[in-house]
Amino acid sequence: MTDTLSPPTIPESLKKAREDFPILKREVNGKPLVYLDNAASTQKPQSVIDAVTRYYSQENANIHRGVHLLSAEATAAYEAARGKLARYLNAADESEVIFTRGATESVNLIAYSFVEPLVQPGDEILITHMEHHANIVPWQLLCERTGAILKVAPIFDNGDLDIDAYLSMIGPRTKLAAAVHVSNAIGTVNPIERIIQAAKAKGVPTLIDAAQSIQHMDLDVQALDCDFLVFSGHKLFAPTGIGGLYGRRSLLDGMRPYQGGGDMIAHVSFDGTTYKEPPSRFEAGTPHIAGGIGLGVAVDYIQSIGRNVMQDYESQLIKYAANRLKNAPGVQLIGEPTHRAGAISFTMENAHPHDIGTILDTEGIAIRSGHHCCEPLMTRFDISATARVSIALYNNHEDIDALISSLAKVNALFG
Ligand code: PLP
């Protein structure tokens, strides 16, 4: 890489995007906010904030159970959001989209409701070395309960998955092949198409952790042909506490409920209970109604920009950022994957990532430092933490240039 990569031009539909996010107008420590912590959580556009406010000020009522107008309106808005998500992911049917609290709850749901009844002691769950804890710990818990074995496919020093190793580890005892689509820590884009195809050829179900890809890429679950795909709303410009799970209907039909309670039952008696069909079977209790509605509006927002436009622009911006960081004095990139989206991790000689994050904060620049819920990945690179920059559609090259100038100050202090 050289230092000559020019900054990307902002496409027409993104030119006003910054104005759509009110928080980007605020100052932090007397400086204009430069928000580069989008892998942790994205900011919310005014349309999402308005939708949540409108729900609480105009429509607030519990869904599905009421005969009065407010309940009917809230139900319609919530279910419309499910439809928007189904279309966004190109699911074959709206019932294949289940609302959860987010990617973490979705993985736990699949572990309990789908995988656990299938496994015998010695059966295997396959993941990669770059998973977020959300796609590790639920499987460890399942292995403790069942005697199953967690298999971990290795990665290369540049942060790419060793795909041949992964594929060779899909064996007769594999009960699930799972993988993160885009690494939240180092930005690697994994070849999930190859994983899904190979697993399918061996009759092994697949789970894709799309927590970091859904906000950067076009995802089509029918084209991908995955069995399950998990995501979080708050990383997709929607409120916290809402997210989802795509599940192939033929598999959902055979799955046991994850939690019991109201709204997921067909009939209850003290002699026994029967359950509703998906998606209701997996949505016990009063959900995050405002969050679901907000998530639908966030999807509308992205559609109004154009997913391909967003993806093209962001891929240029992340290349620009990686190039500038690679050439910044004292900066050491952690992971230089062949395909990258969203995030870049780095360390600096003599400056701990927390020091980097703290100094940048005094300049109004928000990045993340730590293990990014990927401790095994940090161990693989023989470090305990990195500083991480992560972009969204509202970032621009000035954000990256501000980061680089401030890192020069860090380098001067610690270098
Ligand atoms: N998977 C990945 C790749 C993530 O980046 C995250 C969050 O950072 C999660 C799963 C868990 O998401 P949540 O905490 O929203 O459930």
325 and 299 inside one domain: no
* For ligand 1, mutation pick of 105, 212, 234, 386 (most atoms within 8 Å of CB): 212
- Domain CATH number, residue 139: 3.40.640.10
pLDDT digits (tens, 9 = 90+) for 123-175: 999 999 999 999 999 999 999 999 999 999 999 999 999 999 999 999 999 99
Same domain, 144 and 273: yes
Tokens of 195: 């994983």
What's the CA gap between 371 and 40, in Å, rounded? 12
Express each pLDDT in 284-320 by its tens digit. 999 999 999 999 999 999 999 999 999 999 999 999 9
Q: What share of the chain is helix, strand, coil (3-state, %, to 5)?
A: 45, 20, 40
Whether residues 254 and 151 share a domain: the answer is: yes
Cα–Cα nearest to 180, from 210, 205, 151, 155:
210
User: Does 329 lie in the same domain as 273?
Assistant: no
Is residue 93 located within the same domain as residue 63?
yes
- Cα angle 314, 318, 321 (rounded to 5 degrees) comes to 140
Distance 207 CA to ligand 1 centre (A): 14
Average pLDDT, the chain: 96
The pair phi, psi for residue 325, each rounded to 5°, is -65, -40
H/E element, 125: strand 124-128
232 lines ligand 1 (CB under 6 A): yes
DSSP secondary-structure letter at 161?
Answer: B
**pLDDT at residue number 2:** 46
What residues make up the domain containing 87? 48-303
Alpha-carbon distance 10 to 8, whole Å? 6
* Bond preceding residue 287 cis, omega within 30 of 0: no
Give the residue whose CA is nearest to atom 14 of ligand 1. 104
To the nearest 10 degrees (0 to 180), the angle between helices 289-305 and 69-89 is 40
For residue 137, tell me if it sits in a domain.
yes
Please, which pLDDT band fits residue 65 given cuts at 50, 70 and 90? confident
pLDDT range class, residue 4, cuts 50, 70, 90: low
Domain count, the chain: 2
Nearest-CA residue for atom 8 of ligand 1 = 40
pTM of the predicted model as reported, rounded to 2 decimal places: 0.97
Question: Cα-atom radius of gyration of the chain, to the nearest Å?
Answer: 22
Helices and strands in the chain: count of H runs, count of E runs: 13, 17
**pLDDT category, 401, cuts 50, 70, 90?**
very high
Question: Do residues 140 and 71 share a domain?
Answer: yes
Residue 3 predicted with pLDDT over 70: no
